[in-house]
Structure 1
Amino acid sequence: MPRQPAPSALQALYCDHHGWLHGWLRQRLGNASDAADLAHDTFVRILGRDQHAAIREPRAYLATIANGLVVSHWRRRELEQAWLDTLAVHPQAVLPSAEDRAIILETLEQIARMLDGLPARCREIFLLSQIDGLTYPQISAQLGVSVNVVQKAMTRAVGHCFQILLRDD
């Protein structure tokens, strides 16, 4: 378990910059509630880091962490909306439970994070294969690339996802 910074340093960081960070996040998110949640999450991230050196530019440091959380927040909102749009076209009897919906949304968010690091063409090939169920020759024909290009892109995508899974464990 990583050692945590001295409580006094973290307290000072929090006391000196929490108000600023909350305002910064409120401007980007448009509401105080989400801003408060992400400001809290920013400081939780700092607690989990194994960094003992003094932070030279605290606002830049906080903004960098918070910006990543804002990106994740908006990505999650987009995924939730897409999921809700999908559910809206199904009859009530086939709708998943609240618990199942939460699990599905978390899984979709993990997949989105994994695919974010891939080049657009590689991501497209991966999704055509894994989501649409197309074969490599079908993907090749649809995108106008060789089967070899599809194979290399799939190898890269699967390797990339595997590396992220290893890193997250």
Structure 2
Amino acid sequence: MTVADTSLVQNLYLSHHRWLHELLRRRLSNAMDAADLAHDTFIRVLKRPQTFNGEVHERSHLATIARGLCVDHWRRRQLEQTWLETLANRPPALQPSPEQQAIIVETLYEVDAMLQRLPQRVSTAFILAQLHGMPYRLIAEEIGVSERMIKKYLAQAMMHCAMLEAELDGLLIE
């Protein structure tokens, strides 16, 4: 990143941070989460600086990034809530430690993000096979493809799972 890029992002931050924070606060109904997502928005801008055609374009770009971060935030909260509900139904003796819980939630989030990047049929086939234990024949009928395609879909999903595992283990560098 050049000094000029840093200066552009700094000006963008000074000009629009208050506006973005307020936009996010209204959307999230939480000032702390809004502050975090506003910060994350500018981190994304720092990673990919660009030039803008005026204030409207600047705000449009920031709002687009912020919307995506809100969706990720809500999705993560949904996963955490589902996990906590599942956990509440377990006897106290079988509850994982707080550290294990944090690792599990983070892993669930990473798997969910990986599934979101897959084509719809691939992620659906994977979920039906792994979570619902459906045989290939029934998955093929459900999705409307051949069993052979289900095997290809599941191989593709498993390859992405292996890549995610390697990434989480620190073996892959982005």
- How far residue 138 of structure 1 moved from its aligned partner, in angstroms, is 5.4
SS across alignment from 1:55: coil
- Point out which structure has higher relative CO (alpha carbons under 8 A, 6+ apart): 1
SS across alignment from 2:100: helix
Structure 1 position 157 matched with structure 2 position 154: no
The range that moved more, 122-131 or 88-97, is 122-131
Give the TM-score normalised by the residue count of structure 2. Answer: 0.79
| Aligned 1:65-80 pairs, distance under 5 A | 65-80=65-80
> Aligned-pair RMSD on alpha carbons?
2.8
Q: Is 1:4–1:47's contact at 8 Å kept on the other side of the alignment? A: no
Q: Is 1:38–1:69's contact at 8 Å kept on the other side of the alignment? A: yes
| Aligned 1:42-81 pairs, distance under 5 A | 42-49=41-48, 51=49, 53-56=50-53, 57-81=57-81
SS across alignment from 1:90: coil
- Other-structure match for 1:117: 117
Alignment coverage as a number of residue pairs? 166
Q: Distance in 1 between matches of 2:139 and 2:105?
A: 27
- How far residue 146 of structure 1 moved from its aligned partner, in angstroms, is 3.3
Question: 1:1-51: CA deviations, max 9, x gaps?
Answer: x557544322211110001101111121112111111001111222233x3
Q: Is 1:122–1:157's contact at 8 Å kept on the other side of the alignment? A: yes
- Other-structure match for 1:40: 39
Q: Distance in 2 between matches of 1:13 and 1:92?
A: 50
- How far residue 103 of structure 1 moved from its aligned partner, in angstroms, is 0.7
Structure 1 position 17 matched with structure 2 position 16: yes
Q: Which runs of 5+ in 1 are unaligned?
A: none
Q: Is 1:22–1:39's contact at 8 Å kept on the other side of the alignment? A: yes
- How far residue 78 of structure 1 moved from its aligned partner, in angstroms, is 0.3
Q: Distance in 2 between matches of 1:121 and 1:146?
A: 12
Q: Which runs of 5+ in 2 are unaligned?
A: none
Question: 1:43-97: CA deviations, max 9, x gaps?
Answer: 1222233x3x423321111112111111110000000010001001100111111
Amino-acid identity (%): 48
SS across alignment from 2:148: helix
- How far residue 112 of structure 1 moved from its aligned partner, in angstroms, is 0.8
Give the TM-score normalised by the residue count of structure 1. Answer: 0.81
